[in-house]
Amino acid sequence: MRRFTVSAVALPVVAVALASCVSLSSSATLRFGGTVFGGLNAYSLDDWNDVIDLSNGSATDKDDNITSGMSFGVGPHLLVNDQWMIGAHFEKLTPKKSSDDLDVELAANALGASVG
């Protein structure tokens, strides 16, 4: 069985290749750009929240479940014309929970692409 992986460079290369197919009449509107973003996300981490609930047991000092965390991202995009944009992005997800007896960090990465 072969494993197929997509590198972070492949998506922008595909975007440029698709943009090169645009006719010369609309090439004057071809623009490159980038996006930087961040936000507070809500998470549904049922498996980890079950573990936290089990560890709480009958303890008097109970830990809260992991329900939110910050995320940060960056990505290039290509405006082909007034109606089409092709882009890719990388996002770092950082849900975590800290207390006196519990320190859980569940960082993850997300790659995405968009055409529209």
Provide mean pLDDT across the span 43-57.
80
Write out the two tokens for 57.
């047991």
CB 37 within 8 Å of CB 80: no
Q: CA-based diameter of the chain, in Å?
A: 71
pTM of the model: 0.57
Task: Identify the pLDDT of residue 16.
Answer: 57
pLDDT at 100: 67
Please state the φ and ψ torsions of residue 24, each to the nearest 5 degrees: -65, -25
Give me the mean pLDDT over the 57-67 stretch.
75
